[in-house]
Structure 1
Amino acid sequence: MNDHISADDFAGLWADARGLYFAQGFPPYASPAWQQLHPDDPARLAAALDAAEKWRKYGDEEGLLQWFMDALGRGYRPEGRPAAVLAELRKPQPPHQLQATPGWPPIRIPGGRGRYLTYDEGRAAA
């Protein structure tokens, strides 16, 4: 196992793999469609594994929904920014202009049919 995979990641990967092994397209756990499945149907177990994994990742669903309701009731905005500031941030920005710098290798120009932007000492001083 790689050092960069944590135990939580491993548990999630295992649950996802087992859920897909048992069934695909299963109904949500404890839903009316889930309750109508035969007790031995693999989709029941897949849905239970999926629900357990979501609980492990996100915790109490009712608590999460309550947090969303509280946040919306307080006029929550990401990072506390007003709506006008967020609207300004959503406006299209001009494309970034590539600029070669000393010490860096040539930059391939996207869509430039193999052309590269290179640093030119004389052009930089001008």
Structure 2
Amino acid sequence: MTDALTELWANAKAAWCARDFPKYGSRAWCALGPDDPRRLAGALEAAEMWRKYGDEEELLAWFAHANRSRFPYADGLSRAELDQRAKPKPPHQLQATPGWPPVRVPGQPGRYLTCTRKEAA
């Protein structure tokens, strides 16, 4: 029995490497005998595809969603509005908070901001 399984596995691997088998679940695959190594190769390929990509319909839905046309960002905006949106924002102003440790000021070694106001009880 073990020799038969080993032979089936080796032949299925050879068929899988040569891509000499029908797609799992197809009429041609169903017509294969239960001990045909190409049947095992088709089942193994289907299992590997499921492991990698999941459900085929779910994958196709993801592709459809990823390839849908999107609303153009600049549609309906004037040049002045686009220029305004492209301007850099002012840098964040560091501020120490009551009850927290001092804040180190980036680019200024040794300088820390400490909160001087008293925390309301």
TM over 0.5: no
For the pair shown, the structure with the greater C-alpha radius of gyration is: 2
Kindly indicate which of the two structures has a greater share of residues assigned to helix. Answer: 1
TM bucket (normalised to shorter chain) is 0.3 to 0.5
